Chains A and B, each alone.
Chain A
């Protein structure tokens, strides 16, 4: 019956790790595929407000971003602390209503879309909650003029308990 006697005093058998690289590679490929590098560096401080009725934006390729906020520290040295508009990655530094910048921006972004999606372009407005509406109204007016009519007020999901409100 020596076949079934256990080896004694050898401690735990070591785990076979030869498949570890494969597992790690699998994870690696997953993350490589799922990664979208942040191509824009946001140069304004944006803390979007909270809302309960938010929906996810489905198609990311249709979305262009407009940021409005006060500039971050090292940008503020150049432009001052007044609220600034940033279109995807460009800061708008003109005074007054930036009709032309936004018009160019809309045309440029629309050009990138396939023909069938040109009128489905979404402008996501990522606006800091403490910004006065004047700036926002200017952008909205410029967007109307540029015929980019689908907008999205970016907001975080706020969870509200039933019957209890802030």
Chain B
């Protein structure tokens, strides 16, 4: 009869596992990147003639950050903290002012029956702003300040979207689940009403994406 192999001592198994565990604990980085996602405008075709885009002056809000990080909005120096309210006013034009953007009558289809405030066919009829924000900066503007301004502009649009979503669908805009086709349709509908019309192209072409 063959001699049975002597049993391996398993007493130090726990120690070895602990060692490995601690190694992985230390090296693990579970950082998820967060940030503001934006879409750059596509580069214009070089063969294409420079067509001057005629944009009605009242439809453009020029937000300018100069080399010493001073903020100028629509021709006047402004503090960053009131930029959000100014942007909301620009995009909604609540008092139908002459110098704020034109509001176009638009129909936007929402899923029927999703909201009691909409007619049964789910068609929203209302006014959508034609406004565009043109964000311009100097080469010496610091990036941190630029992003803060960018943040305020995005915050303004997000607030508008969220308010609309709460009013009609009793839900936070950020909580809409894109995997659900109805909520996806709601989201794209709201995006049509409050567009993220922020142009960050070079100062020369203030038309931006529309």
Binding site for B on A (CB under 8 A): 17, 20-21, 24-25, 27-28, 31-32, 34-38, 48-49, 51-57, 60, 63, 68, 122, 124-134, 136-137, 140-141, 143-145, 147, 149-157, 165
**A32–B18 Cα gap in the complex (Å)?**
13
Asked if B188 is an interface residue, CB under 8 A from chain A, the answer is: no
User: Contact between A132 and B141 (Cβ–Cβ < 8 Å)?
Assistant: yes
- A24-B18, A32-B24, A133-B138 known; A55-B36 Cβ under 8 A: yes
- A31-B24, A52-B155, A132-B141 known; A57-B34 Cβ under 8 A: yes
Cβ contacts under 8 Å, B143 to chain A: 49, 68, 127-133, 136
Cβ contacts under 8 Å, A60 to chain B: 32-33
User: Contact between A57 and B43 (Cβ–Cβ < 8 Å)?
Assistant: no
Given A54-B36, A122-B37, 5 more A-B residue pairs with CB atoms under 8 Å apart are: A21-B13, A34-B30, A130-B143, A133-B146, A153-B37
**A141–B38 Cα gap in the complex (Å)?**
14
Asked if B35 is an interface residue, CB under 8 A from chain A, the answer is: yes
User: Contact between B28 and A153 (Cβ–Cβ < 8 Å)?
Assistant: no
User: Contact between A131 and B142 (Cβ–Cβ < 8 Å)?
Assistant: yes
Partner of B42, one of A36, A122, A129, A147: A147
User: Contact between A153 and B10 (Cβ–Cβ < 8 Å)?
Assistant: no
Partner of B35, one of A32, A35, A54: A54
B interface size (C-beta, 8 A): 45
User: Contact between A31 and B40 (Cβ–Cβ < 8 Å)?
Assistant: no
Cβ contacts under 8 Å, B154 to chain A: 53
Cβ contacts under 8 Å, B142 to chain A: 129-133
User: Contact between B40 and A144 (Cβ–Cβ < 8 Å)?
Assistant: yes
Partner of A35, one of B28, B139, B155: B28
- Most A Cβ at <10 Å: residue of B13, B151, B200: B151
User: Contact between B144 and A53 (Cβ–Cβ < 8 Å)?
Assistant: no
User: Contact between B40 and A143 (Cβ–Cβ < 8 Å)?
Assistant: yes
**A127–B142 Cα gap in the complex (Å)?**
11
- Nearest chain A residue, comparing its CB with the CB of B140: A132
Majority DSSP secondary structure for residues of B touching A: mixed
**A37–B65 Cα gap in the complex (Å)?**
39
- 10 residue pairs, one from A and one from B, having the closest CB atoms: A129-B144, A134-B139, A31-B24, A51-B151, A154-B35, A24-B17, A49-B144, A54-B34, A152-B35, A133-B141
Q: In the complex, how many angstroms separate the beta carbon of B88 from the nearest chain A beta carbon?
A: 14
- Nearest chain B residue, comparing its CB with the CB of A124: B33
- A20-B14, A21-B10, A35-B27 known; A28-B21 Cβ under 8 A: yes
Cβ contacts under 8 Å, A134 to chain B: 139-140
Cβ contacts under 8 Å, A56 to chain B: 32-34
Q: In the complex, how many angstroms separate the beta carbon of A162 from the nearest chain B beta carbon?
A: 13
**A59–B37 Cα gap in the complex (Å)?**
13
Asked if B5 is an interface residue, CB under 8 A from chain A, the answer is: no
Partner of B150, one of A130, A147, A153, A154: A153
Asked if B182 is an interface residue, CB under 8 A from chain A, the answer is: no
Asked if B20 is an interface residue, CB under 8 A from chain A, the answer is: yes
Q: In the complex, how many angstroms separate the beta carbon of A60 from the nearest chain B beta carbon?
A: 8
Asked if B147 is an interface residue, CB under 8 A from chain A, the answer is: yes
Q: List 13 A-B contacts (CB under 8 A).
A: A21-B10, A21-B13, A31-B28, A34-B30, A35-B29, A36-B30, A48-B35, A49-B148, A51-B148, A53-B151, A55-B34, A130-B142, A155-B36
Cβ contacts under 8 Å, B138 to chain A: 133
**A140–B139 Cα gap in the complex (Å)?**
13
